[in-house]
Every structure is written in structure tokens, then in C-alpha cells.
Amino acid sequence: MTRLFKVVRIQLVNKFAVLGMPLLVLAAVFLVNMALYGVMSEPSPGGERITGALMSIYCVMLAVHLQTITQVFPFAAGLSVTRRTFFGATALVVVGQSIGYGVLLYLLNLIERATSGWGLRLQFFALPFLPQDNAPAQLLTYTVPFLFLSFIGVWVGIVFKRWGQPGVYTVVFGAGLLAGALAVAATWQEWWPSIGRFFVEQPPVALLGGYPLALAAVIAAVGYLTLRRATP
Amino acid sequence: MTAVSMRGVNKKYGNVVALDDVSLNFAENRIHGLLGRNGAGKTTIMRILTGQGFESSGSVEVFGQRPYENADVLSHVCFVKESQKYPEMFSVHHALTAASLLYENWDPDFADSLVEEFELPLKRRIKKLSRGQLSALGVIIGLASRAPLTFFDEPYLGLDAVARQRFYDLLLADYAENPRTIVLSTHLIDEVSDLIEHVTLIDAGQVLLDEDAESLRSRAVTVTGPARAVEEFAAGHSELHREQLGGFLRVTLSGAAPEHSPDDLHVEPVSLQQLVVRTTQQAADERTASGATNNKGTRR
């Protein structure tokens, strides 16, 4: 157990690279958006400026934890850390970081609303499709995509360590082929109306929180099984 | 006590046989030399013993247990390798902090003195270090961790002769004060021949020698003299190598040095490096001989 936390500390020995980088990118993207909308003319009354730029921090998380595997894992393995311990420590960091960022984005969202979009009617942090008064749902919705994307990054990193570049291509093409095959099957079997109904009928919390959370758990489990036979 | 034991270990990468029925022991609290040519299988053995790789078949024990994914065993093992990767963003002090967290015997004062000794810049990014500084970082981690089982896989790349000698001196001094099991994999056999107490020679995935360095030193001799006299002398001994120059012949013979030799023959002991080279050559000859007619004249 103590060894697990030591490996967590090793992953965070260089705090800036893991914890700081996503925030730095988010801050930069936010400032650029502010500047951009600051010099643009006012929107018509009632019009909101919605940007998708919040995605940037999620993508950086994926990249950071891809590197946790490709860069820190070979180093930790060189210091005789087992795959099990390393994966456990990675999961702890990912979960902690995701919750931390989730809370942070939620708080920034509150500030954004209180300042009527930073004085520019800018919707940078807000999630327009969520009920604004449901704090737990909002927290979940901010947090879960971090988990989902981080574990995808971790798994792709593990695939790279185990099977190299061909393995990563296989996974990416495989995922594309699978999606394509499902689309063909859905069209052929005329599933689209029921698929559409499913998405409409699901509450947003389940769509953005519940299902991705379950998927993140599955990807994490697959990642661990892949790591068992990977070499550093 | 045995720190490491491999029994009938095989390792295949696809169709390539990296280890072929390897059995060896590393006794506790000794300095072992793991010798052999590039690609002989030395690193594969060390990767399996440190749980980084895995055997295809056979039994592997480190401190009595299988090392793969075994945190109890691996926390006592340190593996310093020439090809060790460090995270892009890490500076030297990040790597040393990480090692200090994981090894319970880590000696921070010793580490500091080693950093000074090798003039390593603590704040520099590891990717900016010179080849020699990178090797020094590995050596510092290997020494200061004081792990009960420490592997050094060609830890000297880019270190000059003076720095290498400092490493050997430091290793020996610290080993005397803190006995532990050390496995040194190296090509610079002459440099470490006084250091190592036990020799394991690997070639083409097989163990050629697994003996005390002391008994190996007295194991082979070269005999030089008139061809006819040397031939007579060599009969009945196992011959490792022969060189002929006109009427003179020099053969390397395995087996204890004879008590008395004819006056016209010159008999001298063979260095560890010579013995390793000749033994490896002989094994290579035998492999070709088993496939085709051997014209190199090696015989037993």
C-alpha cells in the first residue's frame, strides 16, 4: 500500500508536467477566447457566444496520461515497480486529477454565470444542455470525460508499449471499422429510430456521466490486462 | 545462500531463440560477472530476473520467489541498464528523488557525495546530459540504492577510463562495507577481472561457463614452443585455440597447469579475457562444425 503512494509521488515528482500543463493550456485557450470575443461586436440581445474550446483541457489530459505510460512507466519499471503497482498509482492520479479539475471547472462555471459570461456574454465553461441548478449532475458531467479520455490515453500508451506503432494503428483502425460496421448494421436493420429515441429519452446525466463512466471503467480494466504482458 | 536461480529457462521472440535451456545460480553477497558477446542473451536474462521480461518456459527464482509482478522481491532489486529511459521532463534531481522513495536502503549522503564525485548537474534536464553523465546517473542510482540484488548492465558507456576506475573503486569499497549481491554485465573483462568473484559466460543463449573466477584463472594456460614439442604436450588436453608461426606453435589448453613442463616450452596462465574469448570462439566453431565440415582445426 505504501509503495502504491510512493509511485503516486513519483508520477507527481514533476508536478508541472502532469498537473500544471492541462491548466496552462486551458488558461491560454481561455485568454485567446476572451481577447477574440472582446474585440468582436456585441451579439444581438439574447444571443450567447458558445465556444467548444473547453475540449482542449480534456485532450491535454489524454496526452498527459498517454505519456504517463510511454515515459514514466519505463522509468518506474527500471526502479523495480511492478505493473500492478504502477497501474494502481496511475488510476489514483487520474481519478484525483479528474475530480479536482471537475470541481475547478464547476467553480469557474459559477463565476462565469455570476459575471454574465465574463462581461462578454461568453459561454466558455457553461454546459448549455444541463439543468443549471443541479450541482451534482454538473460536477459529474465535468469530471467523467476526464476519466474517460485519461483512461483512453493510458490504454493507447499501453498498446504502444506492448505492440508498438502497428498496435496503435490496429486499435485506431479497428475502432473506426467497428463504428462503421455498427452504422451499417444499424441502417440495414433500421435501428436508427430506436437509437435516436434512446438518446432523447436518456437524461443528460446518464448520457454524459453514467455511460462514459462505465465505459471508462471498462477501458481501465482492459488497460490493466494489456499492461500485464507489456514490457517497459 | 542463493540469491538467484534459473533452471532450464527458455525465451523465444517469435522464432528467435534468445535463451536456450539456461540454468545458473548467483550466490548471495558476491560480485558476479555476467559476460558474453552482444546479443548473447545477457540483457534478456537480467530483464527476466527483474520482472521486466518473462521467460517462455523454465523456472526463475530471486530470493526464493518468482520475480514477475512480485513487489516483495522486486523492492530488493535494482537494475541499472545502459538503455534506461527517463521521462522527457525529468531533471537529474527528479530521478534521484524517485529512486530514494523506492529503495529502503537508499543512502542520501552517499548519493550526494557520488553526485559531487561525478560532477552531475542536479538541475539539468536528463535529456540534455552527455552520454557519460547519463551513465553516471545510473551508476549513482545503482550504488546509493544499496539494493540487496543490484544489476549493472554495461553501466559505463561514455565514461572515460578514469571515471570507470572510480566506479570500480567505489563499488568495491561500498561492497566491502555493505555486502550485497552484485551482477556486473560488461565487455571490459580485463578491467573487472580483479573485481568479480564468479563468472557466468553466455553465448548464443546458452551458458558456457558458470564458475568461480579463482578456479577459472588457473584453468587454462598457453603453451608456446617448437611445434612438435607443443603437440606432444597438448595431447590429452582440451584445446581452446592454436596459432602457428613457422615451426613454432602456441596453443591454449584448458585444464590445470602441469606441475613440470619441458624446458623448451613456455607455459603461462591465461587472462580471464583470453579465456572468455577462446571459450566463446570454440563454442562458435563447434556450432559451425555441427552443421558442416569444420575446417578450423579445433579438436578435443
Q: Which long-range contacts (CB under 8 A, 24 or more apart) does A196-204 make?
A: A204/A129, A204/A130, A204/A131, A204/A137, A204/A141
The residue ranking higher by pLDDT, A38 or B32, is B32
Which of B88, B104, B123, B139 is the best substitution to test chain A (most A C-beta atoms within 10 A)? B88
pLDDT, one tens digit per residue, over B128-169 is 999 999 999 999 999 999 999 999 999 998 999 999 999 999
Contact A72 B87 (CB under 8 A): yes
Cβ B71–A9 below 8 Å, yes or no?
A: no
Q: What is the pLDDT of residue A1?
A: 57
Q: Per-residue pLDDT tens for B41-56?
A: 999 999 999 999 999 9
Residues of B in contact with A160 (CB under 8 A): none
B242 bridge partner residues: B251
Q: What are the residues facing B215 on neighbouring strands? A: none
Contact flag B70-A72 (C-beta cutoff 8 Å): no
Q: Are B99 and A79 an interchain contact pair (Cβ–Cβ within 8 Å)? A: yes
ipTM above 0.95, yes or no: no
For chain B, count helices (H), then strands (E). Answer: 10, 13
Binding-face residues of B in 43-72 toward A, CB within 8 A = 47, 50-54, 69-71
**Is B101's Cβ below 8 Å from some Cβ in A?**
yes
Q: Rg of chain B's alpha carbons, rounded to an integer?
A: 22
Best CA proximity match to B116, nearest among B142, B136, B101: B136
Average pLDDT score over residue span B207-235:
87
For the stretch A4-56, pLDDT in tens is 999 999 999 888 889 999 999 999 999 998 888 888 776 655 566 777 788 89
Q: What does each C-alpha distance from A28 to A17, A36, A164, B151 come to in angstroms?
A: 16, 12, 33, 46
Domain boundaries, chain B: 2-215, 217-291
Name the superfamily (CATH) of residues B2-215.
P-loop containing nucleotide triphosphate hydrolases (3.40.50.300)
Rg of the Cα atoms in chain A:
20
Point out the residue among A16, A71, A79 whose CB comes nearest to the CB of B102. Answer: A79
> Is a pLDDT exceeding 50 seen at residue A91?
yes
Distances (CA, A) of B43 to B1, B74, B286: 24, 17, 24
